[in-house]
């Protein structure tokens, strides 16, 4: 009887683990969902990695697409639903530091001239990211909506606002996917190219 109960417990726990494994995966203690739902559409995890700087793990990041691909240029140029998920893992990441890092990444991606044209959108991004203090454990979902050509910003599943503009979307995703990304290893991981 004890063997039967033990076997049943084992089978149920394996099934439960399998169901959870299908819904999310864990990267350095952070649960990353395999899908994100947005406006009735399901976006699928394309790749996931960790952003580190000076031996400090800053955040776990994931890229979600409605059509999976390993072509970074295609992703940046596509006018389809896509999302970046950032889960902060360090107390060193503040709202101001995060928005400044994103701004520098965009400038690195598209250059100073394009950034001058996007000054209004960059200011909006800083405002939306800093409505309240950012701390370790906070999660941002930044989702591009092709129907109104805007980037929708959610913090801990709360809608913060949106920033319009397809050129802004390209610069934003270019932070990680351009020819000059902030982290080449993270780019490969987001594209699902794991070594």
- Taking alpha carbons only, the member of 130, 172, 173, 138 closest to residue 157 is 138
At 4 the pLDDT is: 39
**pLDDT per position as a tens digit, 83-121:** 999 998 887 788 888 888 899 999 998 999 989 999 999
Average pLDDT for the chain: 84
Question: What's the pTM?
Answer: 0.84
The topology (CATH level 3) of 26-190 is Chalcone isomerase (3.50.70)
Stated as kind and residue range, the H or E segment containing 82 is strand 82-88
Phi, psi of 178 (to 5 degrees): -70, 180
Show Cβ contacts of residue 189 under 8 Å, excluding neighbours closer than 6 positions: 47, 48, 49, 50
SS3 per residue for 14-60:
HHHHHHHHHHEEEECCEEEECEEEECCEEEEEEEEEEEEECCEEEEE
- Taking alpha carbons only, the member of 40, 61, 66 closest to residue 49 is 61
List the chain domain ranges.
Answer: 26-190
pLDDT of 172 over the 60 cut: yes
**pLDDT per position as a tens digit, 17-72:** 444 445 778 877 889 999 999 988 999 999 998 876 665 667 799 999 999 999 99
């Amino acid at each position: 009887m004890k063997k039967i109960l033990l076997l049943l417990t084992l089978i149920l726990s394996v099934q439960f683990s399998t169901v959870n494994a299908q819904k999310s995966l864990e990267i350095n203690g952070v649960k990353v969902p395999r899908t994100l739902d947005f406006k009735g559409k399901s976006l699928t995890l394309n790749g996931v990695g960790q952003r580190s700087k000076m031996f400090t793990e800053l955040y776990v990041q994931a890229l979600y697409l409605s059509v999976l691909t390993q072509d970074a240029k295609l992703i940046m140029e596509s006018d389809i639903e896509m999302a970046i998920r950032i889960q902060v893992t360090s107390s060193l990441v503040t709202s101001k530091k995060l928005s400044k890092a994103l701004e520098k990444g965009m400038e690195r991606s598209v250059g100073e001239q394009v950034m001058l044209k996007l000054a209004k959108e960059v200011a909006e991004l800083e405002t939306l990211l800093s409505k309240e203090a950012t701390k370790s454990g906070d999660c941002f979902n930044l989702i591009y909506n092709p129907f109104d050509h805007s980037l929708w910003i959610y913090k801990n599943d709360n809608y913060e606002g949106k920033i319009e503009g397809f050129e802004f979307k390209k610069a934003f995703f270019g932070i990680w996917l351009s020819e000059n990304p902030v982290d080449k290893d993270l780019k490969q991981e987001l594209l699902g190219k794991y070594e």
